[in-house]
Amino acid sequence: MEPETESGTVEVPAGRVLSAPELLAARSRPQRLPQRSHGPKDFLPDGSAAQEERLRRCRQELWQLLAEERVERLGSLVAAEWRPVEGFVELKSPAGKFWQTMGFSEQGRQRLHPEEALYLLECGSIQLFHQDLPLSIQEAYQLLLTGDTVTFLQYQVFSHLKRLGYVVRRFQPSSILSPYERQLNLDGSAQHLKDKNSKRKRRSSSSWSTNKKPKAQENPLQGVDGTPENPTTSNPSPCNQNSRCLEEDPQESSLVKGSTGPFRLLGSLEPCPGRAREGLGCNWENGRVENGVRRAGKPRWNFEQICFPNLASDSRHTLLLAPAPELLPANVAGRETDAEDWCHKLNQRKEKLSKQEREQQAEGRDFREDVNLDPEVLCCSGWQEYKELLQRRHLQKTQSRPQHLWDQPVTPLLSPSQANTPATVLQQISVLQTTHLDDGGAWLLEKSGGLEITFDVYQADAVATFRKNNPGKPYARMCISGSDEPVPDLCTLKRLSYQSGDVPLIFALVDHGDISFYSFRDFTLPTDLEH
Amino acid sequence: MLVVEVANGRSLVWGAEAVQALRERLGVGGRTVGALPRGPRQNSRLGLPLLLMPEEARLLAEIGAVTLVSAPRPDPRQHSLALASFKRQQEQGFQEQSTLAAEARESRRQELLEKIAEGRAAKKQKLEQGAADRESPAAGESQAAAESQTSGETPAARTTEMGARPDPAEPEEAAQGSSSPQPGPSNGVAPLPRSALLVQLATARPRPVKARPLDWRVQSPDWPHAGRPAHELRYSIYRDLWERGFFLSAAGKFGGDFLVYPGPGFKLSTTSTSHS
């Protein structure tokens, strides 16, 4: 039908466009879906007319359903515009009911992520414009689902879950507790603080997100590249500024712009996240488009990346540079200091122990066996004699053991003294240790790349009480992968599982439209109780 | 000759007639992965686009039933033209819809007029009966006079509306008629409020566009499967089974490669999955 033109291109025919009467007719079509099957499912073709008729009717229905176009009243559509550079969709008219669970506010405007916008477009709630031209669903798929925003697979999982009724938000790495906070069980107290501190401006930082980053706005953080520098001299400088970061600072908006100058990173391309997130209620000039979550009262610092100057006696860096002026409150001047003489003044006074402490120290000394006080050792005049003494002692200990057991190349696993109860026996002979999936995950956190957590999923019944600014703990976290990608290795699993914390992690595997969900569960094998 | 756009190794079919042709004529299934316009918030039945497996796309291209093209990027040169035509069509559609709405309103009113007339006649009967009993002919006459006045007005309004109807325009893209107005008091042609305009959210691209054909024998960013041993193996199996008349679809949920059916629309009691 479409001949090839001389330039070797093929014309792709246009999609169906409805005329006015057709639009009118579309409004009066039935709203309910027809029943799925007409009678029991057929297993084998038996050539009967009835089966033929059934199949034909099924097929007719399917074609009719597929051919229907979306027709909506202009007044019920929310106008939205796709911004390719920034990677989000901006709403031009006020949002509807979907605003409760989708979208984010930035600079006073209502915005949607590309996957949310596409889902709403498919539902017929919004009209998406690009350069003043409304986008068809096909064009929207093409433009919005590029590699650096949301991939096609991720969108498939997103829309699948949304259609089931879940609330799906982008993964919030800032809601992950750092290992230290987890140790302190800080989330319990933070909840309490949150309610009180909603008005106070506290700067919040985030542990570094390796999430999809839209194409560069001037992200001031990413502009600061680690220029190779002498580590000893530059060590104090970021640290000092970071330590200043901990103070509450009203001049937050200027912070971001000023951070490029005196800010130096050491060898790592990840900027100090202390500067990363602007404070609450101020402008989000961040290039990274997150959900705009305000974390009131819960400062988030990635302590692995904040380095404090080491003023201890082992490796002293006492030259502290002047802090950046924009970090300090007004009328406070910072200057550079040499902390050398201050350090000398430390630990000058003799520590006066209380009587109890002195007794404890003495006791400890008594229990410690000093090898030199052993009379037999004193007789030894050299190392050789000492080693012979040790060997003699060892032989004495082992003399009681039957030789036919213990002198063979293969020795028993237990000595009689070790086998008190079945439990200890099992413990001794166990080859496998109990381990949890997120063991050792803390030190894997800095590795990135490969599979990442994509979405936070909240349950459908929480919709009525769902607050975007304070969503709470998600029901599950989702990692998405295609069936032709390799199975994630243990390193990735540990890292992701640790990142997810106490929220279950689910892996969604997409195979040509089929989505399967997998998760790993920790379980412990029963052990014998001591009798 | 059907045209299927391919992007990043994924082939999507956006036309319902194309899907029908593929399934009925060519025995290639694909899978619907989009939202169904009639029911976008359920998962049991999905709608366009149809996702084709790479094996399906390649088979269709090999037998010459389909031309694979690289998904065309939006052309900025065409944009201003498209924008102008869209605005024009929207205005035209607006006019059309207003007229259609007015017509619909009018025909509704006509129907109701008859009913109104019937109702009034019945009421008049009752009143007259009552009046005859209670001797008040004046009330009945004034009522009749009032009725004749209103019925006299409406034909006049009708004629003005008829005159204002322009010629019906060709099918267009966006804003067109509304069917929601209630039969209100008879005025002239009330312009349709903008918010009542009906708009089509097009599924497929509503204008034709040029695209470059894709060679599935060569590896490219849009077709990374060429030459991959896994793909070649799957394809040879797919082709063989297809030639024998089976209908295949993806079997990710069952852990296999393909689900094999005797024909479209059937289900197997024991699914035969092929593993390669």
Q: Tell me: pLDDT of A421 over 50.
A: yes
Torsion of CA A413, A418, A424, A430, to 10 degrees: -20
pLDDT at A92: 93
Whole-number Å distance between alpha carbons of B167 and B187: 22
Does B42 sit within 8 Å of A15, measured CB to CB?
Answer: no
- A383 and chain B: CB distance < 8 Å anywhere? no
pLDDT at A313: 66
Pair A205, A252: CB distance under 8 Å: no
pLDDT at B50: 93
- Chain A residues close to B264, C-beta within 8 Å: 59
pLDDT at A139: 92
- Beta-bridge partner residues of A81: A90, A129
3-state secondary structure of B209: strand
- A188 and chain B: CB distance < 8 Å anywhere? no
By C-alpha distance, the chain A residue nearest B170 is A19
Alpha-helical (H) ranges within A28-103 are: 49-67
- Chain B residues close to A67, C-beta within 8 Å: 16-17
- A513 and chain B: CB distance < 8 Å anywhere? yes
The dihedral sign for the CA sequence A73, A74, A78, A83: positive
For residue B261, the surrounding DSSP H or E stretch is strand B258-261
Pair A214, A287: CB distance under 8 Å: yes
**DSSP code of residue A418:** G
Can the peptide bond before residue B49 be classed as cis, meaning omega within 30 degrees of 0? yes
Whole-number Å distance between alpha carbons of A256 and A252: 7
Task: For residue A427, give every residue at least 6 positions away whose Cβ sits within 8 Å of its Cβ, in sequence order, or none.
Answer: none
pLDDT at A160: 95
Whole-number Å distance between alpha carbons of A447 and A247: 30
Min Cα–Cα distance to chain B from A105, Å: 25
Nearest to A138 among B44, B97, B203 (CB): B203
Instruction: Encode pLDDT of A339-372 as tens digits.
Output: 777 777 776 666 777 778 888 877 777 666 677 7
Which of B25, B172, B199, B249 to mutate to probe the A interface, most A CBs <10 Å?
A: B199
pLDDT at A89: 93
Nearest to B44 among A36, A63, A74 (CB): A36
Q: Tell me: pLDDT of A439 over 60.
A: yes
Whole-number Å distance between alpha carbons of A34 and A217: 48
Q: Which residues of chain B have pLDDT under 70?
A: 135-190, 265-276
Min Cα–Cα distance to chain A from B205, Å: 5
Q: Read off φ and ψ for residue A473, nearest 5 degrees.
A: -80, 130
Query: A78-92, A105-119, A491-505: which has the minimum mean pLDDT?
Result: A491-505
- Chain A residues close to B65, C-beta within 8 Å: none
Nearest to A73 among B34, B195, B265 (CB): B195
Pair A482, A119: CB distance under 8 Å: no
Q: Can you give the length of chain A in residues?
A: 531
- Chain A residues close to B49, C-beta within 8 Å: 137-138, 141
Nearest to A66 among B47, B97, B250 (CB): B47
By C-alpha distance, the chain A residue nearest B212 is A9
By C-alpha distance, the chain A residue nearest B256 is A511
Q: What is the pTM of this model?
A: 0.67
- Chain B residues close to A71, C-beta within 8 Å: 198-201
pLDDT at A252: 37
pLDDT at B35: 93
3-state secondary structure of A58: helix
Does A22 sit within 8 Å of B172, measured CB to CB?
Answer: no
Q: By CB neighbour count within 10 A (0-12 exposed, 13-18 middle, 19+ buried), where does A277 fall?
A: buried
- Beta-bridge partner residues of A479: A453, A507
For residue A205, the surrounding DSSP H or E stretch is none
Min Cα–Cα distance to chain B from A448, Å: 24
Task: For residue A285, give every residue at least 6 positions away whose Cβ sits within 8 Å of its Cβ, in sequence order, or none.
Answer: A217, A220, A253, A256, A257, A278
Whole-number Å distance between alpha carbons of B116 and B185: 13
pLDDT at B261: 82
Instruction: Encode pLDDT of A130-186 as tens digits.
Output: 999 999 999 999 999 986 788 999 999 999 999 999 999 998 877 776 667 777 776
3-state secondary structure of A458: strand
Whole-number Å distance between alpha carbons of A504 and A106: 30
- A13 and chain B: CB distance < 8 Å anywhere? yes
Q: Read off φ and ψ for residue B275, nearest 5 degrees.
A: -110, 130
Which of A35, A70, A143, A157 to mutate to probe the B interface, most B CBs <10 Å?
A: A70
Whole-number Å distance between alpha carbons of B276 and B274: 6
Does B168 sit within 8 Å of A20, measured CB to CB?
Answer: yes
Does A137 sit within 8 Å of B201, measured CB to CB?
Answer: yes
Cβ atoms within 10 Å of A26's Cβ, excluding its own: 19
Does A8 sit within 8 Å of B212, measured CB to CB?
Answer: yes
**DSSP code of residue B225:** T
- Chain B residues close to A69, C-beta within 8 Å: 37, 200-203
pLDDT at A190: 52
Between positions 113 and 172 of A, the ones with CB within 8 A of B are 119, 121-124, 127, 130-134, 136-139, 141-143, 147, 152, 156, 159-160, 162-165
Radius of gyration in angstroms for the set of CA atoms belonging to chain A, rounded to a whole number: 34
Number of C-alpha atoms within 13 angstroms, CB side, residue A235?
A: 14
Pair B4, B70: CB distance under 8 Å: no
Pair B140, B124: CB distance under 8 Å: yes
Pair B97, B175: CB distance under 8 Å: yes
**DSSP code of residue B171:** P
Instruction: Encode pLDDT of A238-297 as tens digits.
Output: 333 333 333 333 333 333 333 333 333 333 333 333 343 333 333 333 334 444 444 434
Nearest to B198 among A27, A121, A143 (CB): A27
Min Cα–Cα distance to chain A from B157, Å: 23
Instruction: Locate B52 and state its tokens.
Output: 């084709």
pLDDT at B266: 64
- Chain B residues close to A484, C-beta within 8 Å: 230
Pair A275, A255: CB distance under 8 Å: yes
- Beta-bridge partner residues of A509: A481, A516
Q: Can you give the length of chain B in residues?
A: 276
Q: Tell me: pLDDT of A477 over 90.
A: yes
Give the mean pLDDT of A459-465: 81
What is this model's ipTM?
0.75
- Distance (Å) of CA A448 to CA A147, A276, A280, B173: 17, 18, 28, 47
pLDDT band at A225 (very low <50, low <70, confident <90, very high): very low
Whole-number Å distance between alpha carbons of A263 and A238: 6
- Distance (Å) of CA A424 to CA A203, A215, A410, A418: 52, 59, 21, 7
- Chain B residues close to A138, C-beta within 8 Å: 12, 14, 49, 202-205
pLDDT at A322: 77
